[in-house]
Structure formats: C-alpha cells, structure tokens
Structure 1
C-alpha cells in the first residue's frame, strides 16, 4: 500500500459529466522527491484523500468609522492573551457620555495554520464559548496526527461535523494566536541584541586580557634586557 504526504496548491476544480469532479493539484517536484513513483502507482486506483488549507480564515469586527477592532488583545509576561482595556470611546459610552453607537463591520483576515496550531499545542488557547471544554485537546490530537474518523467516532458525530468543528475553533482562537505570535517574535527580537551585547562584552574582556598579557610580557623582557 502506497502512502504520499505532500504540500501543494489546489489549481482547479472541474465539474465533469456523470457527477464527477476533477481536482487538479500542483506539487513541487523537489518537495515530492522519490514519492513521485508512489503517486504513479496510484493512477486509476481508488485513494483516500484529506486536504487541509495552510491558512485559517476568520473575521474581525471593526468600527467602520475608525477601522479599528472592537475587541483588542494584550499579552502578559507569561504569554497569556487577555482582552485589553476598552478604547477611550468605549469608556465614554460606559460612563454615560453621549456617543454614537459605532457601525460594526466584519473584516476578513487570515493567518498561517501552523501559528494557530502552535498556539493550541503550547496550551495557550483558552476555552471558547460554544465549544466543548476539552476542545483544545481535541484539536491538539488532530494536529498530532489522529484521524478525523477516530475523533468523530469518540464524539459520536460525523466526520464532516468534526472537520467543521475543528475549523471553527481554529477561526475562533485565530485573533488571539496572532497577538501571541507577534509577542513571541518581539521576545525573540529583544533577545538577539542582548546576546550580541554579551558576545561583544566577552570579546572586550578577551581583548583586555590579551593587552594585559602583552604588557606583562614586554615588562618582563625589559627587566631581562636591563639585567644584561
């Protein structure tokens, strides 16, 4: 039995006669490697295929007037994402000051699936209303290779339903994952200059020691020359 795992792009979906749909995929030959022979052996054979997008698409509610998100997030020092304090216009509304009710629009966004999956795998995704309490664990099992069929059987739902549930959960935590990922990148960028400063300090110490050693050597040489 042949097995091929690859990353590719969906190029065409053609609806053909007799209820047949033709799917055209484009795959990097280099990325496919020796598996191309396995694919050749599958021609005209029945296969089981699972295709997942490498991006997570979600919507963000924004104030149509300011074009700013209605809900903002912040990350604490431990990497936990929280809802940020309300914007000034929101505070005015809460204090009873006259303010126009913002017109809310939904802005389509997308983020790499690997970012969302890493957010979930590292245990940073909080519980989401409308999802099972252990939803993060369910998605984590899927990320680690468990089949949709097995998860669906345990949850007593169809494979299609579990796929939709997992996709919806990824979309729900995507805004938090994006903020968390930005925080992680900032932490990494801050660590690099510190490391460079430490390396520069080590070089300075080595240089100082070298100068001191040369100075001691010259002093000893002068003493010998004087004695002679």
Structure 2
C-alpha cells in the first residue's frame, strides 16, 4: 500500500459537477522529498485522505464598549494558566453591589494549531467535565502519526463525531494556549546565564544595537535557553543537519509493520539516544501513555513525541534500504 504525508495550502476548490469536486493543493517541494515517486505512482488511482487545518479559529467574548476580553488569564511561574476574576466583578463583590451589566460581542481570533498542540502536550491543558476523553493521549497519537480514523475506531466513535469533538476541545483551550505561549516566549528573556557563557540580556542587545550582524545570524538559539526552557525546546525543530528529521525519511510503511520491525530488530541510532524498542514494548505490555513514559525517563511529552517521530522516520528509511541505516 502506498502512503505519503505532507503539509500544504488549499489553493482552489472547483465544483465541477454535482458528483465531482476538484481541490488544488500547493505543497512545498521539501514536503515531498523522498515521497515524489510514491505520489506519482498514485496518479489516476483512488485514494483516501483528510485535510487538517493548521489554523484554529475561536470566539473571544469582549466588552462591546472597551473591546477588551471579558475573560482574562494569568500564568504562574510553572506555566499553569488560570482564569483571572474581572476587576469590575471583584469590585462589585467587595462592595456588595450587583455586578455591572456589560454588553458583550463575540470576535473571531486565530491561533496556530501547533501552539495548541504544544500546550496540550505540556500536560497543562485543562480537562472539562463534559469532555471526558484523554486529549493528551489523543494529541500524542496524532503527533505520532496515527490518523483520526484509527483513533476514532479505537475509542468506538464515528470519525465525524470524533473530529468535531477534538476541534471543540482545541477551541476551548485556544485562549489559554495563547496566553501560555506568551508566557513561554517570555521565559527566553529570563533564563539566567551559566558560568562562562555569554549573557543574553537587554544590555547586550543595546550594546549591539545598530551594529550589523555577521553573516550566519546572531545567537537566536542559545544552548542555555534550550536546556532550561523545556517548553521552548518542545516547539523547536531538531538541527537541520540531523538526518533523523530529514523529510526523505518520512515513513511510507504501514504503522503496525513499522512497530513490529522495531520490536524485532530493535534498531538504534547515535543521533537519537533513546531506547525506543524497550519503551515501545513497555507501552504495549503495560499500557502506559507516552506522557507517563516521558516522565519516567526525564523528558516532557513534547520532547519524546518529537524524538519518537524522528526515530520512526529513520527506521522507515532503514526498512526501505533493506536493513541499512
């Protein structure tokens, strides 16, 4: 069975007839590295697929007079997002007065799906009483390559209902994810330097202000920031030179066959110092989630998901090469 995976942009939708709709998708060349021949072999063949928008649109209730959001959020030092009680409501409670009636409007806001996924994978996203499913596990599986169809079947739900449920959860946590993302980005400027390492401070930026940067870029990806700020690391791709993330290693083999190969051959790679064959066996035999496994080996769920995806790509490449890495 042929399979490819890619990210692209929907450019045109053409309703050719009542029975046929033509969709044009623009795909960056890098997304098809190592997959073009597979795509070419699918020409004029029937395929099944789905489109998952990388932008989430949600509604924000705002004061119609001031334009400010009705619900505000605060983030503590650990990245936990909480709802802040509105100032007017708090004042009314303190004075024993009835709350002021505010005219409300709902404005659409947009956020990258990647930010919401990072927020969920951080383990800080909330649960809701009317949505009892494990959305952390669901997000881990989607990030690991499982399809909506497979996950829906595993939990005994129709894929259409499942997709709507996941979308609703993402919209609910979207404003909290946006606030968490602001906090996460702000941590870059508060990381204390280690002994012997350059100080990445506002003073240093002022000293360098107006000076041309050397070709090759400035210190926008310092090691001390990566080591201390796990959330920032989760949202950052691996080194471009790392073969573990080369797109020509994108898996084109069946997921079950891939995992059976991992458990039988137990491949390992110097670029990925994690014993995934043992962890996969532990996940199957003990029924543990990747979140639980990540904690047991000192990683965040975002980190282990990134490494697991890169590892599977390298294993798939090894399988296609007949066992050679």
Q: How does 1:116-195 map to 2 (within 5 A)?
A: 116-191=116-191, 194-195=192-193
Taking the aligned partners of 2:83 and 2:40, their CA distance within structure 1 comes to 51
Per-residue deviation, 1:200: 5.3
**Root-mean-square deviation (CA), in Å?**
2.2
Structure with greater proportional strand content: 1
Taking the aligned partners of 2:130 and 2:104, their CA distance within structure 1 comes to 22
Question: 1:163-198 deviations in whole A, cap 9, x for unaligned?
Answer: 11111111111111111111111011222xx42896
Which structure 2 segments of 5+ residues have no match? 200-325
Contact 1:127 1:136 in 2 (8 A): no
Contact 1:128 1:172 in 2 (8 A): no
Q: Relative to structure 1, is the Cα distance of residues 180 and 200 closer, same or farther in structure 2, using a 3 angstrom cutoff?
A: closer
Per-residue deviation, 1:2: 2.3
The match for 2:90 is: 91
Per-residue deviation, 1:92: 3.4
For the residue of structure 1 that corresponds to 2:14, the secondary structure is strand
User: Given the two structures, how large is their TM-score scaled by the length of structure 1?
Assistant: 0.78
* Equivalent in 180, 197, 200 of residue 199 of structure 1: 197
Taking the aligned partners of 2:76 and 2:114, their CA distance within structure 1 comes to 22
Which structure 1 segments of 5+ residues have no match? 202-228
Taking the aligned partners of 2:96 and 2:163, their CA distance within structure 1 comes to 44
The match for 1:204 is: none
Question: 1:85-119 deviations in whole A, cap 9, x for unaligned?
Answer: 322x2223333447741111111111111111011
Taking the aligned partners of 1:141 and 1:35, their CA distance within structure 2 comes to 22
Structure with greater proportional helix content: 1
Q: How many residues align?
A: 198
Taking the aligned partners of 1:160 and 1:2, their CA distance within structure 2 comes to 24
For the residue of structure 2 that corresponds to 1:46, the secondary structure is coil
Taking the aligned partners of 1:184 and 1:17, their CA distance within structure 2 comes to 48
Taking the aligned partners of 1:123 and 1:155, their CA distance within structure 2 comes to 21
Q: Relative to structure 1, is the Cα distance of residues 141 and 37 closer, same or farther in structure 2, using a 3 angstrom cutoff?
A: closer
Taking the aligned partners of 1:99 and 1:2, their CA distance within structure 2 comes to 61
Q: For structure 1, which segment, 44-53 or 91-100, has the greater mean C-alpha deviation from structure 2 after superposition?
A: 91-100
Which of structure 1's runs of 4+ aligned residues deviate more than 6 A? Answer: none
Q: For structure 1, which segment, 141-150 or 69-78, has the greater mean C-alpha deviation from structure 2 after superposition?
A: 141-150
The match for 1:218 is: none
Which structure ranks higher in relative contact order (CA pairs < 8 Å, sequence separation ≥ 6)? 2
Per-residue deviation, 1:137: 2.7
Q: Relative to structure 1, is the Cα distance of residues 111 and 198 closer, same or farther in structure 2, using a 3 angstrom cutoff?
A: farther
Q: State the structure with more CA Rg.
A: 1
For the residue of structure 2 that corresponds to 1:195, the secondary structure is coil
The match for 2:108 is: 108
